[in-house]
Structure 1
């Protein structure tokens, strides 16, 4: 196989949301050339493999790349998102990223795109289909957007054994069931976003709640979509910021903090009688919550170990199943959690979160910082990485990281101006509503409680770490 030579300023590995948002920022804020390599046949990352009924959990207005809007800024008038701004589905998002690539990136003359190609490391990649491979001379940096890449049910086997004759399918396959295959019952396995979407979709398709069993090893907190809205509903989002800071300033423990935020309606849980231990920041509406509460057959016996022809074996017991049941695999591990490393290094950018929430805003900001800030040391000072959130304490540490480095980022006028203007920033249009009474009231609460929230968050995390250490020592 012949090796071809290629030259570029930036070699971006991955054409998902992270790679696309980062590249878009480079094109806007520098004169750099970019080469994008991705194993999938089209841009869009995991959306290429997504289950057909998946939608964004946050409004389309905050997703994608900064320079190209997604959606029509329309309010949904029906369904579980009724009254809130639109949520793009998988088909729309795939079409959007294709448009960004073919109408924004490639016509610029500064982007080369190699789909269907595996990155081998050391600036080398190979085509999956053609007998071609490339060695790239990278003048500036390799941008690795795959460091935290996880797994999804559509492309990974279930993390449990499945006996012959048992019907077990990944989430997306239930949308393709024919009338001759129609099951008597559905067993949804998983506690995260995919499982939630699957349960909601089944109920929206008029599947009786009594025909659904939900197996979940953990209970989760969910963010109320009411506080994640743009445009005319932005004042409620800003009020959500005030609610969080006030609770953070006054909470006496992590449990007390979550209780305060639940009382305000900011956080939601499906079963009020159980204390959630999982927090991944997923967003739902109160209408979805009410649907999910219809499912009464909920199994909480840990993770599934195996599905046999007559029973499901879990960590802490077993439950019966039947031949007429379809078991829906929603149990992939999701995003990876490798050790944190500096985002900016000589010859390398490793994309990782550094703010709470709104991932595309973060990805795009990394591209802006790479383009306008000179030294890697200064870049890393602006955005030290944090782990993706999984447990309740992760919410506190992520929010604290957001607050702690906000002033440093504001010291760069070009970065601050971009943040005020980009559609990806949920508060970029707040100035349009600055005189609204609820915005003025929220602003005063933020001023009053902001500094105290930072101090108390640090103390709550310190106390939690000490308690966890004491438990480990006792064991």
Structure 2
């Protein structure tokens, strides 16, 4: 039986994007919203995440605008000591469940259909089906479909390894190492991204000897220092990091030189200072994490793994031995997708895509505000020019240049800029409280001195790379 319903907005996906967008839409309009997700609860990839995962940014900058996440406290021990708290997977699942149950549904304007598969549609009529019962719903959408899945990527917890695994080889996803029953002779961590970094860090924190860890890294990565991404009294240094980037962007002679300048300032970090990184995905780490990871000396740099046999691991550029005592930890999923860019706003659709570097929930909430408060589709897209999720080194200056242009446009829009100045999720929204801080005063001078030159030089560097 096909059940017919009507709604102003049909939001596909109840991860951070769908939840933050919906929250802003509810706050700034009288719209009704229907939320559909294949998972059993809101939270997106956090539902499937490995048990020891944590946000790489402070909780203060994550979630939906209307409900703070966490207690806003500074951690006193561990690898995040001295920095603001970062929520873990259990915290995030509970948080998004509370947002749905206590903030969205009681108002009567939201309907939530978990365990449901979106089937598509056109001309304002869409369908989805329950994955449990097979029952289908036909939805007449009066305003727009909101697609938060366009850039959905693969994560190790839900994706098979992108390499062959022979019979008898022990190969598990990241989360499964927290549940192993027998101590392996060696942990072989496969991947160079944030998941692999988290796995190596967690193993070392559990007092696994560094000598018992082999790290297969197809690429070396740049990481952002957590020191420059803190709220409250950390905002002057956060603000200073923007001025630092402007000065480096204005003076750099190449993209490699840009990274070198910012590494010298401590803004960018790398685990192995003898290897030139070729990857930059924007993850934030602490100096303590990097120092800990440097204990791992058995690092294999022979490209991507092609197959694991009982006695060897075959890679692009050679092979290394393995044996039945080793447990191979698959951290090599594709990650975030990079399909062709499309307009964020269309007459009948919103396609969620990033607008600038990092702090995704602020961007998702911003899209909801602009959908609710700006009438013209052309004006909405002028304020929200999408970019690809970053991967290669050149994606950083490209994203930074796009941010300079888009921030200027949004700052000139009264309603959007007024919201941004007060938004909890805006990492620099509270900088006005520190306008007389000497670091902020120095940074304002950097903005004046290097802002225009940075944009011009970045465009030149990107054109000649």
**Cα separation, 2, equivalents of 1:328 and 1:406:** 41
Q: Which of 134, 137, 143 is the aligned partner of 2:140?
A: 137
Residue number in structure 1 paired with 2:153: 150
Shift of 1:198: 0.3
Structure 1 residue aligned with 2:5: 6
SS of the residue 2:85 aligns to: coil
What is the Cα-based RMSD across aligned positions, in Å? 0.7
Note the C-alpha offset of 1:411.
2.4
| CA deviation string 1:117-164 (max 9, x = no partner) | 000001100001124110000000000000000111111110111111
How far residue 232 of structure 1 moved from its aligned partner, in angstroms, is: 1.4
What residue is the counterpart of 2:173 in the other structure? 170
For the residues of structure 2 that align with 1:347 and 1:151, how far apart are their CA atoms? 27
> SS at the partner of 1:155?
coil
Offset from partner CA, 1:203-256 (integer Å, 9 cap, x none): 000000000000011000000000010011111111111111110011011111
Tell me the residue number matched to 1:274: 275
- 2:79 alignment partner, SS class: coil
The residue matched to 2:233 in structure 1 has which SS? Answer: helix
Shift of 1:54: 0.3
Measured after TM superposition, the shift of residue 462 of structure 1 is 0.7
Q: How does 1:79-94 map to 2 (within 5 A)?
A: 79-94=78-93
Post-superposition shift, 1:86? 0.4
The correspondence of residues 138-287 of structure 1 with structure 2, limited to 5 A, is 138-178=141-181, 181-287=182-288
Offset at residue 438 of structure 1 (A): 1.4
Structure 2 match to 1:442: 443
Matched, 1:410 2:411: yes
- Alpha-carbon distance in 2 for matches of 1:345, 1:404: 21
Q: Which moved more, 1:423-432 or 1:113-122?
A: 423-432
Report what 1:111 is aligned to: 110
2:325 is matched with: 324
CA distance in 1, matches of 2:444, 2:52: 38
Q: Find out whether 1:126 has 2:132 as its counterpart.
A: no
Corresponding residue of 1:358: 359
Q: How does 1:298-317 map to 2 (within 5 A)?
A: 298-317=299-318
Q: Deviations over 1:327-355 (max 9, x none)?
A: 00000000111111111112111000111
TM-score between the two structures when normalised by the length of structure 2: 0.98
| CA–CA distance in structure 2, aligned partners of residues 210 and 245 of structure 1 | 41
* Alpha-carbon distance between aligned partners in 2 of 1:199 and 1:149, rounded to the nearest angstrom: 25
Q: TM-score, normalised by structure 1?
A: 0.96
Distance 2:434 2:408 in 1: 23
Alpha-carbon distance in 2 for matches of 1:85, 1:452: 34
Cα-to-partner distance string for 1:175-227 (whole Å, 9 max, x where unaligned): 0112xx11011000000000000000000000000000000110000000000
How far did 1:376 drift? 1.0
SS at match of 2:78: coil
Is 1:62 aligned to 2:65, yes or no? Answer: no
Per the TM alignment, residue 364 of structure 1 is displaced from its structure 2 partner at its CA by: 0.6
Corresponding position: 1:333 with 2:329? no
Q: Provide the secondary structure at the position in 2 that maps to 1:391.
A: coil
| Greater Cα offset, 349-358 or 111-120 | 349-358
Task: Please identify, of 155-164 and 434-443, the stretch whose mean Cα deviation from structure 2 is larger.
Answer: 434-443
Provide the residue aligned with 1:72 in structure 2.
Answer: 71
Give the Å deviation of 1:108: 1.2
Q: Deviations over 1:20-65 (max 9, x none)?
A: 0000000011000000000000000000000000000000000010
- Structure 1 stretches of 4+ with a deviation exceeding 6 A read none
Instruction: Give the secondary-structure state (helix, strand or coil) at the position aligned to 1:54.
Output: coil
In structure 2, the gaps of 5 or more residues are: none
Residue matched to 1:470:
none
What SS is found at the alignment partner of 1:25? helix
Q: Distance in 2 between matches of 1:376 and 1:393?
A: 30
Matched residue, 1:39: 38
Distance 1:90 1:418 in 2: 29
CA distance in 2, matches of 1:243, 1:384: 24
Query: What is the distance in 2 between the residues matched to 1:409 and 1:436?
Result: 25
What is the rounded CA distance, in whole Å, between the counterparts of 1:303 and 1:131 in structure 2? Answer: 40
CA distance in 2, matches of 1:131, 1:48: 22
Structure 1 distance, partners of 2:272, 2:113, is 47
